[in-house]
Amino acid sequence: MSRYIYAIVRCLPEPRTGEFMNVGAIAGDPATGDWSVRQLSKFDRVRKFAGTSAMQVATNFLLQVNAEIDHNRSNLEEGGAPLAETWLHMMHHDHRSIVQLSPPAPILAESAEQALDLIFGRLIIDPVSERQPRPVNKHLLTSRLREAYRSAKIADHLIRPRAEVFVGEHVHSLVDFAIANGTAVQLTQAWSFRRAQIDTLSTEVKAWGYALERLRRGENARVVDVNDQISKISKNVDLQVVVAPPVTAEQMDAFEEAQQVFSNLGAGVHSLEDVGAVVSRAVDLVKQLKD
C-alpha separations of 91 from 23, 125, 180 in Å:
15, 23, 43
Residue 47 pLDDT exceeds 70: no
Q: Confidence band (pLDDT; 50, 70, 90) for 131?
A: low
Are residues 272 and 219 part of one domain? yes
CB 261: neighbour CB atoms within 10 A? 19
* Domain end among 102, 124, 146: 124
233-266 tens-digit pLDDT: 999 999 999 999 888 888 899 999 999 999 999 9
Query: Quick one: pLDDT at residue 154?
Result: 92
Q: Is there a domain that residue 199 lies in?
A: yes
Are residues 113 and 44 part of one domain? yes
153-170 tens-digit pLDDT: 999 999 999 999 999 888
Please tell me the distance from the alpha carbon of residue 86 to that of residue 161, in angstroms, as a whole number.
26
Are residues 222 and 156 part of one domain? yes
Residue range(s) defining the domain that contains residue 115: 2-124
Q: Is there a domain that residue 130 lies in?
A: no
DSSP letter string, 12-79:
-SSTTTT--EEEEEEEEETTTTEEEEEE-S-THHHHHHH-HHHHHHHHHHHHHHHHHHHHHHHHHHTT
62-116 tens-digit pLDDT: 999 999 998 888 788 777 889 999 999 999 999 989 999 999 999 999 889 889 9
Residue 151 pLDDT exceeds 60: yes
Q: Confidence band (pLDDT; 50, 70, 90) for 281?
A: very high
Domain count, the chain: 2
Predicted structure pTM score? 0.65
- The sign of the dihedral angle between the CA atoms of 52, 53, 56, 61 is negative
